[in-house]
Each structure stands twice: as C-alpha cells, then as structure tokens.
Structure 1
Amino acid sequence: MGAIQVIFSILVYIGQFGIGYNLGWTAPVLAKLQDPEQTPLDNIISDGMSSWIVSFIYFGTISGPYISGYLCNVIGRKPCLFLGGCAHFIASLTLAMSKNVAVILTGRVLSGLGNGIIYVTNLMYIGEMASTKIRGTLLTLTGLSSTFGTLIVYSVGPFVTYATISWLSMTISGIYLIALCFVVPETATFHVIAGKKDAAIANLTLLGRQSDIEEVVTKASEKSRSKKDQMTEMFTVKSNRRALFIVLTLSVLQQMSGVIPLTAFVTIIFAMTGSTVEAYVSTIIVGLTQIFAASIAPLLVDRIGRKILLLVSTAACSLSMAALGTYFYLYNNGYAIAEDLQWLSLVSLMLFFVFYFSGFGIIPNTFIGEMFTDTCRGFCSTFSATVGWIVGFGVTTSFGYILLAWGPSTTFYIFTATCTIAFLFSAAFVPETKGKSLLQIQEFLGK
C-alpha cells in the first residue's frame, strides 16, 4: 500500500515541479528579453527592469501561504492545491501572450501566488497523507522535484521561443490540475474536520494505514488553536523565542546569500564571464548540479548532523562566492591570468549550489519541524517564511542595480560576507539536534 502513497505524492509534487520551473523561468527568458531578435516586447529591457521581473514573484509568494492557511481548513487541502494550480495555469497563459512589461509583471505575481499556495499546502498534504515510516523521505522530495523543474526550464528554454517556455509551463499545470481532479484524494484529516468520519476511514484504508485510523481521527478531532494564541505562544514560551531567533536569522541569511538572484540570472551571469563555453551550456550544468545536491541532501542530514552540515555548507558557499568575486575582479580589470581562469566561474557556481542545497538550503526547514512546539509550529513556519521572502524581494530587486553600479565582483563579495556571517552565527547559536527527540530539543532551547 506504500506504493499508492508514493504515487499520490508524485502527482502532488507536479505542482512543486512547477514551482521550480517558475523560479528558473527567468534564466532563459531574461536573455531573450534583452535580445532584440527574440524579445516579444517593443524594446529590450534594462538590467534594472530584469531585477523587477525576477522579484515581482515575491508579491504573490508572500500572500499565498496566508490564503492557503485560511482556506485549507474551510474547503480542504485538495481544493487549495487546485487553486494554486489554477494560479500557475493562468500565470503561464498570461506570460505566453504578454507583449508589454506590465503583463509580464502581472504573470509573475500570479506565478508567485501559485508557488506560495502550493508550497505550504504540499507540506501539509504529504504530512497528513503519508505513513510515519515513509513520511520523512516523501517530504524531502520537495527540494528534488523543485530543482528538477528548474533543470527542465534551464535545458529547454534556450532552444525555444519566449512564448513556448510559458506554453510548456501551462501544459505542466494542466496535467497537475487533471491529476488533482481525477486521481488525488482529499486527506483523512480534513475529512474528520469536515465531519466525514467514514470518508476518512475509507481514505486511510486505501492508503494502507488501517492501524492509524484511531490516532488520525482522535488528533484531527482536537480543537485547533487560534492564530492569536499561536502568536502569543511564539513570544511567551522561551524555547519558541529561541527557536524563532535561530530559524528567522537563518531564513534571512538564506535569502541574502544570493541564491534566488543567482538562480534567476545565472544565464546572464555566465554571459558576463567572457568564457568560451556557451552561457546556456553552463546554465544546464548548474541545473544538473542542483539535482545532484538535492538528491544527496536527505542522506546527509541524519548521518552527519544538522550543525556540522550547516557549518560545512555555509563555509563552502562563502568560499565559492569569494572565488567568483575574485574571478570577476581579475577579468574586469584586465588581468591576463583571468584568461586561464575562465573555468573558475562555472566551478564556483557549481560548488555554491552543491553546498547550498546540501545544507544551508534545507537545514532551516528541518529546524522548523524540530524546534517549535506542536501548537504554534504552523504559524511560526509561515511567519519565518514571510520575513525571509520580504528580504528576498529586496535582495532580488536590488541585484540588477547593484550589479550595474558596483560591478559583479563587489556584488559577489557581498554574498561572500553574508555566507560568512551565516557560518559564524551557526557556530555560535545553532544547537545540534541530531538524535534528539522533539521534547529534548525544546527542553534544551528552554534552558
């Protein structure tokens, strides 16, 4: 019966695949919008406008979790996933038919809305649908499915037209919506909340979870705490305050590490290096690197330990950005040695993504599930993500302007400093949670 759970998870993760596709969409698209022969616009866009096109997705992403957070207990988990899929579908249609920047920005907001709704609801759906033995494995597939979507748009985008990139995205969304309509069931937890106990029992039986029926029905029948109570507990309970300090700081530093602008502008960055390797080839290599990192990350977390992995990851990210900044300093200032170091830009970004997605990119999400108390985990997760996304919006929006005003070397040295701060913060404040129960972790944080 575990196979059925895996099948449902794969179908649900088509939406996560779409999130990765949307995040990587700008890499091939921005290059086309700055090419007079490929752009659908009347004029090519500036570097500053490129940053706005990338960052506008945050306007939708920030609001998405709050919409799904309210509706998931009103209309259900499955309808929320369907709503996110509809947002993706409409966004793709809008972007495919866009002829001016205003329409592109509108499409990006809709893409972000779908991303925010699907991301949060996916975690809830898989957490409720999967049995204990395979729940952790299925949840870690979030990163893998997202990076696979990014790889696809990296690989296909350079070889098709601007509109075709979005038509492909709309096709993915259409398949997702069909799967939700005809195959994917509602969760047993929501059936209990809606007073449909028989439907919940039938759902758990289908999933091969007959032994969990009593536990699921009892837990889902408990009255949930209000948002106000969860907010109060976030600040009044010492372990939650300390957990919030750790998770919130790491979430902000994640966004300030430059991972989103690097993902979005990767093709343009490679075009600036002067390398003899085609920019799109380097971009595809980076996409493959992300897939590799996302694949091995779940294996490393429980074997090496959270803190050690986080320290290694942030240190390596810092060194990678320093190397990239140094290459651009040498190249832009006419040093002859830069000609022999063209490989350094690709290797630096490959290493950055390997170590980011192997530690820095996943550990804070792990801490959300381990450090907060059960009664306020959902609210704290949404709050931390919102603050991080707001910072991400600022970083992504300013990236193009900083790149133009200060140059690539200074820009990447800023990311170097951020990753270094993340390393020092992790060494000083982050505890090791490997092998500890949730109660032991929260008792330690409460001391």
Structure 2
Amino acid sequence: MSAMGAMFTVGSIMVFSIAPYVSYRVSVYIPLAINVFHLIVLFTIPESPIFYAIQGKRKEMIAVLEDLGRPNDAEKIVSEADDLTETNTSTIKDWKELFMVRSNRKALFIVVIINVLQHGSGVMAVLFFSAAIFDMAGSNIDSNVAMIIIGCCQLMGSAVTPLFIESTGRKNILIISSSVCTISMFTLGLYFYLLFKGFPVVYTVNWLPLVVLILFFIGYDFGLGIIPNTLMGEMFTSNVRSKGSTLTLTTSWLFGFLVSTAFGAFFVTIGGHVAFWFFSGTCACALLFTIFVVPETKGKTLLEIQQSL
C-alpha cells in the first residue's frame, strides 16, 4: 500500500512538472505510460503466503515467507488457511456473512468510516484546486512551481511511512497523520477567514498557504492516505474481503466525489474558510475515531484480528 501511494505521488509530480508546458494530448500520454509501467511492476509482486497455503502450494508459501523473514510462521499460516478454507462459500452466502457475522460487520463499519473520513479530509479537492487556492491567497510563488513543491513533499511523506509502520504501528501513525491534517486545514481556514474579513496581516504572510499545504500533504501521505486501505486488507476474512473492499471503496470514493464537486462552489460563494474548517473537522473526526474505535493490527494474524473484533 505504501508503494502504491508513492507511485501515485510520483505520477502526480511528473504531471505537475510537464503538463503546464505541453499540450493536453501529451499530458494524457504521460500518465498512460506511468500506468503501463505500474502494471508491469505488479507482475513482479508475489502472492501472499496465505494464498499459496489455501492453494496447497507449500513450497511457494515457504519461499515467500523466507523472503519476508518469517520462515517460522509456516505452520501457523497453514492452520489459518485450513480455517479460512472451511469458510469459503457461495457468493450470496459471502454477502450475508459480511453483514451477519459480527467480526465482519464491525470490520466493515470501521473501514467504511475511516475511508469516508479519508476522502472527507479534502485531499482531492485541495489537490484539484491548489492553483486557484494560491491565486486567491495572493501567493508570490507561481502556482505551477508550488504544485511541484507539494508533490515532492507528498513523496517524502509516502517514502517515510514504510520505515515506521511496523515499529510504530498503524494506529499511532494514523493518529499522528490525522492530527497534522486537522491543524493544517484549521490554519488554512483561519488564513482565508482573515483574508475574507480584509485583515491586512494576511498580506505579510502570503507564503503561509504553501507551507500549510506542504504540511498537510506530508501528514496525509504519512498515514491517512495509506493506512485506511491497509486496514481493508487486514480486517476482512478472505471469503468476504473482495465484497467488503468493493463496498468500502465505492462508498468512500462517492463521498470524495461529492466533496470535490461541492468544494468549488463553496470556495467561491461562502468563502474558502468554511470549506477548510469542514475538512479540519473531518480530520478531527478521523483522529477521534482512530483513538477510540480503530484497532491496532500490527503483528497480528487474520484470526487474531477477527477474534479481537
């Protein structure tokens, strides 16, 4: 998941760097080439040990575990696969189990809410309208240059996460990330509120929106942009994982689409401060939800996570 976030950011940086200086047709070919490269890389990623165990491919399972530095987990994975194989049922029954089995139902609730809050943070809206934000803020920095700077900071956030995710834990990283996003959006909302009211002090700090957005995107890509998708793969049993993930992503991306669509109208009609404070409130909800509801999945097997749910 961290690699996917980093690749997404690398593609964004390339588009930000080249698109302002080429035609629309060329700017479409660039991400197309990136996607083709991403597809090729995906063929080099091995299947998970649990998949090989379910398929009865013990040799391949052991090879993957050795690559991961977990050769002693072979018997545990085989035992887990046996339990999961017994739960493999028809598609209709899988959908029923998603809602009727308590652990799956609670997992669905957690991942849907945290993914909705992820998209409600305003990341896509801010990314789409960053140039307009800088122009309205009266920034002295060219909007195209500012987007490149933001993209590089996003990449830094994505690159740092894999170094800490196992030692720090998913939950702690998500708490830190949500806190940074909350403070960043609140500060940006305060800036635009003072600009809306005509306070002259804002013209002396017109560099602030760029700094705040840099902090926001670093914080977002450090955890809030990655961990919710990671939880999807860790909290569902294998027979309902595809159903739960589909329902979660559909709901969260629909919410994200609505937020991004409404942002432009809000920004112009009622002021950017209202929109940014809404995003700050959503990030604060993600922070509280993480503290009180989201479980820590670091170092736990699927069965242990299911039992805790």
Contact 2:234–2:302 (Cα < 8 Å) also in 1: yes
Matched, 1:263 2:127: yes
CA deviations 1:368-427 (Å, max 9, x no partner) are 122222221121111111111111121111111111111111111111111111112222
Contact 2:5–2:225 (Cα < 8 Å) also in 1: no
Match of 1:408? 272
Take 1:330 and 1:188, find their aligned partners in 2: how far apart are those partners?
53
Matched, 1:361 2:225: yes
Match of 1:153? 15
Which residue among 167, 177, 184 is the counterpart of 1:313? 177
Contact 1:286–1:350 (Cα < 8 Å) also in 2: yes
Q: Cα 1:175–1:361, aligned 2, differ >3 Å: closer, same or farther?
A: closer
Take 2:33 and 2:196, find their aligned partners in 1: how far apart are those partners?
42
Match of 2:137? 273
Q: Cα 1:376–1:347, aligned 2, differ >3 Å: closer, same or farther?
A: same
Q: Cα 1:414–1:171, aligned 2, differ >3 Å: closer, same or farther?
A: same
Match of 1:251? 115
The CA deviation at 1:239 is 1.1
Which residue among 184, 190, 208 is the counterpart of 1:344? 208
Take 2:185 and 2:43, find their aligned partners in 1: how far apart are those partners?
42
| Matching residue's letter, 1:418 | T
Take 1:337 and 1:238, find their aligned partners in 2: how far apart are those partners?
54
Take 1:187 and 1:428, find their aligned partners in 2: how far apart are those partners?
35
CA deviations 1:200-232 (Å, max 9, x no partner) are 99xx6xxx77x99xx99xx8xx79533322211
| Matching residue's letter, 1:234 | L
Take 2:240 and 2:225, find their aligned partners in 1: how far apart are those partners?
23
Q: Whose relative contact order is higher, 1 or 2, with alpha carbons under 8 Å and at least 6 apart?
A: 2
Matched, 1:236 2:100: yes
| Matching residue's letter, 2:7 | S
Matched, 1:294 2:152: no
Take 2:138 and 2:259, find their aligned partners in 1: how far apart are those partners?
25
Give the secondary structure class of the aligned counterpart of 1:433.
coil
Q: Cα 1:378–1:408, aligned 2, differ >3 Å: closer, same or farther?
A: same
| Matching residue's letter, 1:437 | T
Give the secondary structure class of the aligned counterpart of 1:277.
coil
Take 2:284 and 2:17, find their aligned partners in 1: how far apart are those partners?
32
Take 2:116 and 2:44, find their aligned partners in 1: how far apart are those partners?
36
Give the secondary structure class of the aligned counterpart of 2:89.
coil
Match of 1:162? 24
| Matching residue's letter, 2:270 | W
Matched, 1:332 2:196: yes
Take 2:43 and 2:120, find their aligned partners in 1: how far apart are those partners?
37
Structure 1: which 5+ residue stretches go unaligned? 1-138
CA deviations 1:344-376 (Å, max 9, x no partner) are 101111111111111111111221122222221
Aligned residues: 293
| Matching residue's letter, 2:273 | S
Match of 2:305? 441
Q: Cα 1:141–1:175, aligned 2, differ >3 Å: closer, same or farther?
A: closer
Which residue among 408, 412, 417 is the counterpart of 2:281? 417
Q: Cα 1:440–1:309, aligned 2, differ >3 Å: closer, same or farther?
A: same
Q: Cα 1:414–1:186, aligned 2, differ >3 Å: closer, same or farther?
A: closer
Take 2:284 and 2:168, find their aligned partners in 1: how far apart are those partners?
21
Match of 1:375? 239
Superposed, 1:13-92 pairs within 5 Å as: none
Match of 2:257? 393
Give the secondary structure class of the aligned counterpart of 2:198.
coil
Take 1:372 and 1:167, find their aligned partners in 2: how far apart are those partners?
37
| Matching residue's letter, 1:284 | I
Q: Greater shift after overlay, 312-321 or 302-311?
A: 302-311
Give the secondary structure class of the aligned counterpart of 1:375.
helix
Take 1:277 and 1:158, find their aligned partners in 2: how far apart are those partners?
15
The CA deviation at 1:142 is 1.1
Normalising by structure 2, what TM-score?
0.83
Structure 2: which 5+ residue stretches go unaligned? 72-76
Match of 1:427? 291
CA deviations 1:254-307 (Å, max 9, x no partner) are 111101111222222222210111111111110001110111112222111222
Superposed, 1:142-221 pairs within 5 Å as: 142-172=4-34
Contact 2:171–2:290 (Cα < 8 Å) also in 1: yes
Q: Cα 1:236–1:344, aligned 2, differ >3 Å: closer, same or farther?
A: same
Contact 2:138–2:206 (Cα < 8 Å) also in 1: yes
Match of 2:74? none
| Matching residue's letter, 1:378 | S
Take 1:250 and 1:186, find their aligned partners in 2: how far apart are those partners?
27
